[in-house]
Amino acid sequence: MRLKITSQIQKLLGNSDLEKLIKNSGSVFFRRILGMGLSFVWVFAITNLFGSKVYGLVSISQVLISFLGVFFCLGVDTALIKLGSMTKHYSNGISHSAFLRKSINIILISSALCTITVFLLKNSLTVHVFKKEELSNYLIWVSLLSILFLSHKAFTSFLTVEGRFNRYGNFYFLYPNIGVLLFVLLCYYFKWPPYFIIIGYILSYGIFGLIQLVSLIKIPLKKGISIGYKEILKLSTPMMISSSFLFISSWTDVLMLGAMLSEEGVGVYNVAFKVGSLVLVIIAAVNTVLAPKISAFFEGNNLDGIRKEVYKATKIISFMSLPFVILLIIFRIPILRMFGEEFIAGEMVLIIISLGMLFNAMSGSVGQILNMTNYQKQFRNFTIISAIINVVLNYFLINKYGIEGAAIASLVSNLMINIMCLIFVKQKFDFYAFFRI
């Protein structure tokens, strides 16, 4: 059955070389879909068992955890993929430089800095920024458990370099969401304080980050070349900056809504945003397989190989995303109603976010191209511009239009960064990554 489906997709796209890409990305896609489904189950459980106010606090904490993971990870996660895809650093399960062990040291030091920073800023964030005193207990545990979510963020992605896509999908998407769901149910059954949900969230991801950290330590080291901390950070820091600003551009709306509107408004918006962003499952699954291949082709100066792989990936993403977005828009009200009647207020948000994600899908893997081909600094600049636009638009549009204004700001900034990347890729590689029949 699986071979038959693969054959049909190949026939539809008219490219016989797609089988391996579909197979590997399909492995990640399947697990990400399951994980995403489970994430909606635990979101549904929180909204129905604890209410939109608690989910609003969980949403703010979750976004802060994600941002801290991006910022204090220092781009090491992406740098590991790039370095691991280069045979002079890593091949056949053997490390030829100390890039893995030095990256681990960087994350250990960075996690300590993260703990101190969050603990010192806890009161300011609670009282002056978000004006929500209940958030204090959430932030205490975010600071104490920073090593866990940083380990997961930094090291799990290296599984894609090793070609272990099933394990990557399990560790990154499937198992953690099972753990979060179980913890939500335990919190309700034993009547634990709501902030225990965040403890469970971090533990569910962090344990698999630690397992992967240990597995990296066990990789044999046979030094062929030397690499210093400065060289790793020189490569990773632009990626960290671009990832941070890309994150800010993606989640500014939630953070600013948290500061400007009620917890209920944040909860409604975040549910609609999560539903509208489901297309990212498809994009991320294909990009997971694509990133190491782009890096390897670039190392071998095979620019034509990059172009062909990007075209394949864009076709797969676009053909899968378009019907998905149409279904989300058509059935938006019954989908949102599953989380409670109050969440129907987010229907326009869902439409706007879905359209933005469709454009993102059809733009191709432009961010991956720049990060994997030594143009990470240019990608960093594009993300900074996009993030600034998003912040400014959110400030004015939220005041005027509420959650719909936040969605419009997200749409515009998403269009901007993709257009800038598309033009740059055309200039440097002489092809458009955008979908075409």
User: 206-215, 234-243, 412-421: which range is least confident on average?
Assistant: 234-243
Output the pLDDT for position 15: 47
Highest mean pLDDT among 112-126, 252-266, 313-327, 387-401: 112-126
**Whole-prediction pTM:** 0.68
User: 193-197, 219-223, 260-264: which range is least confident on average?
Assistant: 260-264
pLDDT mean over 186-210? 94
No. of helices (H) and no. of strands (E), the chain: 20, 2
Between CA 409 and CA 301 the distance in angstroms is 39
Q: pLDDT band for 117, please (50, 70, 90 cuts).
A: very high
364 pLDDT higher than 80: no
Output the pLDDT for position 52: 77
Contact present, 57 and 263 (Cβ < 8 Å): yes
Query: 359 or 246: which carries more pLDDT confidence?
Result: 359
- One DSSP character per residue, 330-342 reads HTHHHHHHTT-GG
Helix (H) or strand (E) holding 95: strand 94-95
Helix (H) or strand (E) holding 401: helix 376-401
DSSP helix/strand/coil, 162:
coil
- Report residue 204 as tokens: 């569910």
Spatial CA neighbour of 122 closest among 109, 133, 113, 112: 133
19 pLDDT higher than 80: no
Q: How far is CA 371 from CA 236, 251, 274, 279, 306, in A?
A: 10, 21, 26, 21, 13
249 pLDDT higher than 80: no
- One DSSP character per residue, 243-265 reads HHHHHHHHHHHHHHHHHHS-HHH
DSSP helix/strand/coil, 90:
strand
Q: pLDDT band for 2, please (50, 70, 90 cuts).
A: very low
DSSP helix/strand/coil, 94:
strand
Output the pLDDT for position 1: 44
Output the pLDDT for position 250: 67
Contacts for 321 with CB less than 8 Å, ≥ 6 apart: 279, 282, 283, 357, 358, 361, 362
Highest mean pLDDT among 195-204, 398-407, 410-419: 195-204
User: 63-72, 83-92, 124-133: which range is least confident on average?
Assistant: 124-133
Q: pLDDT band for 33, please (50, 70, 90 cuts).
A: confident
Between CA 239 and CA 241 the distance in angstroms is 5
Mean pLDDT rounded to a whole number for the chain: 84
- Residue that the structure tokens 């948290």 belong to: 258
- Report residue 195 as tokens: 């902030």
- Residue that the structure tokens 């864009």 belong to: 314
Output the pLDDT for position 109: 96
DSSP letter (8 states) at residue 75: T
Q: pLDDT band for 338, please (50, 70, 90 cuts).
A: confident
pLDDT mean over 377-395? 86
Output the pLDDT for position 181: 95
pLDDT mean over 139-149? 93
Q: How far is CA 388 from CA 78, 259, 264, 296, 393, in A?
A: 23, 17, 26, 33, 9
Query: 112 or 36: which carries more pLDDT confidence?
Result: 112
Output the pLDDT for position 437: 58
Output the pLDDT for position 43: 87
Q: pLDDT band for 261, please (50, 70, 90 cuts).
A: confident
Residue 95 sits at φ, ψ, to 5 deg, of: -90, 125
Strand partners, 13: none
185 pLDDT higher than 90: yes
Q: How far is CA 188 from CA 43, 51, 133, 185, in A?
A: 13, 12, 22, 5
For strands 94-95 and 90-91, give the pairing. Answer: antiparallel
Polymer length in residues for the chain: 437
DSSP helix/strand/coil, 86:
coil
Between CA 258 and CA 249 the distance in angstroms is 15
Output the pLDDT for position 21: 54
9 pLDDT higher than 50: no
Output the pLDDT for position 25: 57
Output the pLDDT for position 8: 45
Contact present, 63 and 56 (Cβ < 8 Å): no
Output the pLDDT for position 114: 95
User: 124-128, 134-138, 335-339, 370-374: which range is least confident on average?
Assistant: 370-374
Between CA 185 and CA 193 the distance in angstroms is 12
Output the pLDDT for position 56: 83
Between CA 55 and CA 14 the distance in angstroms is 45
Residue 164 sits at φ, ψ, to 5 deg, of: -95, 70
Query: 92 or 299: which carries more pLDDT confidence?
Result: 92
Strand partners, 94: 91
Contact present, 86 and 373 (Cβ < 8 Å): no
Count CA atoms closer than 13 A to 409's CA, side-chain side: 29
Output the pLDDT for position 23: 56
Output the pLDDT for position 374: 80
Contact present, 56 and 264 (Cβ < 8 Å): yes
Chain-centroid distance, C-alpha 127: 28
Percent of the chain with pLDDT over 70: 91
DSSP letter (8 states) at residue 221: B
pLDDT mean over 312-322? 83
- Report residue 239 as tokens: 């990626």
Output the pLDDT for position 205: 94
- Report residue 97 as tokens: 């430089």
> What does the domain layout of the chain look like in residue ranges?
8-429
pLDDT mean over 305-321? 83
